[in-house]
Structure 1
Amino acid sequence: MSGANGARISRIAPQRRHTLQFLREIRAFSPVFLDTEVDMSAVQRLRADARERGERSSVLSYVLYATARVLARHPQANAAIRGGGRPRVARYPSVNGKITLDKTVGGERIVLSTVLADLQHTELAEIQRQIEHHRDGDPQVMPEYAGTRLLHRLPWPVGGWLFRLGVRPLSRRAATFGTFAVTSLSHRPVDGFASVGGTTITLGLGQVAERPVVRDGRVAVAPTMRLTLTFDHRVIDGAEAADVLAGIKAALETFERPSTRPDAPAPAAAQSQEAR
């Protein structure tokens, strides 16, 4: 169909139905946005060391690792809410991270998401392996995306009902939505952005770039990253969200090669900064 001005008008591609269902579902979200700048020198050194050993390590894997351990110490933020008149809150024992993926399905460029479970106990190398599995795999055949492919095929009302059935019950939310979300545009010349991932905490990652910083009263140059945190004000308040953001920042800036023990304590610097 063509409009009066020659514009080509057509139905939205079925591959985008899951995105529309998601956006409809999170309309009740009450977002507040915080941001900070993170000195990524420690992370970049570790990534360089990994490359010398022939290993991959993305910024995303470090952020997931650090955030999961911070949220394990902030159970109020590792939560989800449901209901208007009589709202209920669920706090989850596992920290599950949702990541977004830039994919092309049936010729249509879309965003897909997947949830990585129990990240508070998962080693950095395993997080990286899972990221690469989803990044490099074909969502048109991967069993993890069977539900999304079904949404693309079903009529809109039926697909909407099925989507709500999967994500609304608090007992399922951690598995289907995650308990926090991370979305990254760090591979593009984007300094920072805010996103609502449908979870109480959503992180937006900008590019890591050389920028001026002040160290010991002097200006130096360091690789820094703009880190944005969006929180759902229905679940937590600004002070709690600020503590989470401060903890993630400190953990990334003091990152050491992770212990082989999954229950290794957080860096002292991260703990002290959260307590301020």
Structure 2
Amino acid sequence: MSVIPLKGMRGAIARNMTLGWQAPRVAMTVEVDMSACLGQQVGVTPQVLSAVAGALRDHPALNAWLTPEGIAPQSVVNLGMAVALAEGLAVPVIRNAAARSLADMAQQVRELAAAARQQSLPPKAYQGGSFTVTNLGATGIDWFTPILNPPQVGILGIGRTLDTPVVRDGQIVIAPMMSMTLVFDHRAVDGHPAALFLADLRKRLEAGVLP
């Protein structure tokens, strides 16, 4: 079999992943009851992205870049959305995500994912992201720890939603539980504010994302 050279898209992925892996990163995971999000006209991914955007607006320490000069807070939430391609990975950016309605977010997800797979997006569509979300739930993965997307200081990995026995008011019930793993750069963000962000995100999803 021939060797596949690390160039083009594969080379760019390799370089970026190496930089992300070198960061002093920390991962933390929570389980989310998705009962309020299921059965909606809008899928899980847009709801998660909308909730992430709102949580980042209220926890701006995660909405930042780490540059050679220091920590650069980003005034607008520009969400990177990981899209799997046959030959690699693309991360188009949803601009000003915190200002978008849920319906608008769903449209953005559909259009950007389709255009990324068709490789019809301009280079600027992949630039300027302030935080990234990657969802492997559709593949049956329970949870995973994604690699940071420099210069961003945080990334969220989403696993599948699985009917799981949980305890509610002393009783065992079945609930659709989904894992979320936050990976963050400890040079820029400490554990406590990162945990508060993740707790807020869980609260938003369990309450149901507003349209």
Give the TM-score normalised by the residue count of structure 1.
0.70
The C-alpha deviation readout for 1:76-121, integer Å capped at 9, x for no partner, is 22111112xxx411111111110111123xxxx2111111111111
The equivalent of 1:35 in structure 2 is: 29
The sequence identity of aligned pairs, in percent, is 29
The equivalent of 1:121 in structure 2 is: 99
Q: Select the structure that is richer in strand.
A: 2
Task: Say which of 49, 54, 62 aligns to 1:77.
Answer: 62
Instruction: State the shift of 1:62 in Å.
Output: 0.8
Alpha-carbon RMSD: 2.0
Instruction: State the shift of 1:177 in Å.
Output: 4.7
Instruction: State the shift of 1:147 in Å.
Output: 6.7
Matched residues in 2 for 1:17 and 1:147: separation? 19
Residue 75 of structure 2 aligns to a residue whose secondary structure is coil
Unaligned runs of 5+ residues in structure 2 are none
The equivalent of 2:184 in structure 1 is: 231
Unaligned runs of 5+ residues in structure 1 are 1-6, 51-56, 149-174, 259-276
Letter of the aligned partner of 1:61 in structure 2?
P
Instruction: State the shift of 1:180 in Å.
Output: 1.1
Residue range with higher mean Cα deviation, 87-96 or 187-196: 87-96
The C-alpha deviation readout for 1:137-182, integer Å capped at 9, x for no partner, is 36555133x479xxxxxxxxxxxxxxxxxxxxxxxxxx72511110
Letter of the aligned partner of 2:70 in structure 1?
R
Matched residues in 2 for 1:204 and 1:82: separation? 23
Q: Which has the higher contact order (CA 8 A, sep 6+)?
A: 2
Letter of the aligned partner of 2:192 in structure 1?
A
Larger Rg over CA atoms: 1
CA spacing shift, 1:200–1:248, aligned 2, 3 Å: same
Task: Say which of 76, 84, 87 aligns to 1:102.
Answer: 84
The equivalent of 2:70 in structure 1 is: 88
Residue 142 of structure 1 aligns to a residue whose secondary structure is coil
The C-alpha deviation readout for 1:24-70, integer Å capped at 9, x for no partner, is 4435422100001000000014x2xx2xxxxxx22111111011111
Task: Tell me if the contact between 2:66 and 2:72 (Cα under 8 Å) persists in the aligned partners.
Answer: yes
Letter of the aligned partner of 1:130 in structure 2?
Q
